[in-house]
A and B are shown apart, each in its own frame.
Chain A
């Protein structure tokens, strides 16, 4: 149980285009999903917290107009990188909290490798 999927697993796009990444909780309901960014050989950097039916909460320094997050249902959150540039190339990982969990445990997706050319 507690499986989180991400789609796509990798994507290459041209500079200036937008890319959408989906995060789904497959076998549980998630009121809260998180989006992280990870650079090579580094830890995860929290970008934003996504709550179902409300606006996402962005961490300091993260451009909310560039990284659009939508949490339309209890099983789906999307991250759209708008007007992507090479510096947006990174590994993006989502996680989800089980609605029924009280331990703050997060279940992670497999990640999406974004390369902007």
Chain B
């Protein structure tokens, strides 16, 4: 079985500060890991994904995440927050034993203060 835990339902940072959103996963098979962003009343947009290979993954809008197998983590970071980064962020896991299903974390709401 697979599961995802996002630590912190709400994170608040100042504009220009480091953004760190935490995600830990559980998986009995090699995981595929994803970060999605959702703006109010919209669908989800893929920020980045890890499948195989390089463990540091760069995504859109300056975000990146590092797959750490030993820590079962896939934390999302951005060096400098922008006001437009305020949104809901979801970490998700999938693998070849789930029929393509994505298992989502609870989500983290990111607020950016001016």
Contacts and interface: CB of A to CB of B under 8 A. Distances in A.
Given A43-B106, A104-B94, A104-B95, A113 B101 contact: no
B43 A103 contact: no
Interface residue SS majority, chain B = loop
A104 B100 contact: yes
Given A108-B44, A110-B43, A113-B41, A103 B101 contact: no
B95 to A, nearest CB: 7
A75 interface: no
Contacts, number: 59
Nearest to B44: A108
A91 B88 CA distance: 15
23 contacts: A4-B43, A6-B43, A34-B101, A42-B106, A42-B107, A43-B90, A43-B107, A46-B102, A57-B99, A93-B43, A93-B44, A95-B44, A95-B102, A102-B51, A103-B32, A103-B51, A104-B32, A104-B100, A105-B32, A105-B49, A106-B102, A107-B46, A108-B45
Shortest 5 CB-CB contacts between residues of A and residues of B: A108-B43, A104-B94, A108-B44, A110-B43, A103-B51
